Amino acid sequence: MKKKMEVGVIGLGKFGLPLAIALEERGHSVVGVDGSENRVRQAQSLLAHVYIADAKDSAVLRQLRFQDLDLVVVSVGSSMEASILIVFNLLEMGVRKLAVKAITPEHKKILTRLGVENVIQPEHDAALTLAHRIANPGMLDMLQLGGGVLLQELEVNNWAGQSLMELQLTAQGIMVVAIRPKGEQDYSFVPAADRVLLQGDTLAAIGKEADILRLVS
Please write the tens of the pLDDT for every residue from 144-172.
666 667 788 888 988 999 999 999 998 88
How much is the pLDDT for 3? 74
Q: Give the whole-number percent of the chain exceeding pLDDT 90.
A: 53
Query: 88, 77, 128: which is closest to 110 by C-alpha?
Result: 88
- pLDDT of residue 25 exceeding 80, the answer is yes
Whether residue 32 is found in the same domain as residue 114 = yes
End-to-end alpha carbon distance in the chain: 34
Please identify, among 98, 120, 142, the residue that sits at the C-terminal boundary of a domain. 120
Does residue 16 fall inside a structural domain?
yes
Whether residue 153 is found in the same domain as residue 191 = yes
Task: Point out which residues pair with 30 in neighbouring strands.
Answer: 7
Separation in Å, CA 69 to CA 27, 94, 125, 141: 15, 10, 26, 31
Whether residue 33 is found in the same domain as residue 115 = yes
What are the CB-based long-range contacts (under 8 Å, 24+) for 173-178? Answer: 173/207, 173/208, 173/211, 174/205, 174/206, 174/207, 174/211, 174/212, 174/215, 175/205, 175/206, 175/207, 176/203, 176/204, 176/205, 177/151, 177/204, 177/205, 177/206, 178/203, 178/204
R_g over Cα of the chain: 21
CA dihedral 93, 27, 145, 115 (to 10 degrees): -10
CATH number at residue 34: 3.40.50.720
Burial of 75 (0-12, 13-18, 19+ CB in 10 A): buried
Whether residue 17 is found in the same domain as residue 78 = yes
How much is the pLDDT for 209? 76
For the beta carbon of residue 84, count every other beta carbon within 10 angstroms. 18
Whether residue 13 is found in the same domain as residue 104 = yes
How much is the pLDDT for 211? 84
How much is the pLDDT for 212? 79
Q: How many domains does the chain have?
A: 2
Does residue 1 fall inside a structural domain?
no
Q: Which domain holds residue 164?
A: 125-214
CATH number at residue 129: 3.30.70.1450
Question: Are the CB atoms for 52 and 58 separated by under 8 Å?
Answer: no
Please write the tens of the pLDDT for every residue from 100-150.
999 888 999 999 999 898 898 887 777 766 676 666 555 555 566 666 677
Does residue 37 fall inside a structural domain?
yes
How much is the pLDDT for 1? 42
Whether residue 186 is found in the same domain as residue 134 = yes
Please identify, among 88, 103, 120, the residue that sits at the C-terminal boundary of a domain. 120
Whether residue 160 is found in the same domain as residue 208 = yes
Does residue 98 fall inside a structural domain?
yes
Please identify, among 120, 155, 182, the residue that sits at the C-terminal boundary of a domain. 120
162: helix, coil or strand? coil
Mean pLDDT for the chain overall:
87
Whether residue 112 is found in the same domain as residue 173 = no
Whether residue 105 is found in the same domain as residue 155 = no
pTM exceeds cut of 0.85: no
Does residue 150 fall inside a structural domain?
yes
Give the Cα separation of 158 and 32 in Å (integer).
48
Band (6; pLDDT cuts 50, 70, 90): very high
Whether residue 107 is found in the same domain as residue 185 = no
Whether residue 88 is found in the same domain as residue 179 = no
Separation in Å, CA 179 to CA 120, 126, 140, 187, 191: 29, 25, 13, 5, 7
Whether residue 93 is found in the same domain as residue 51 = yes
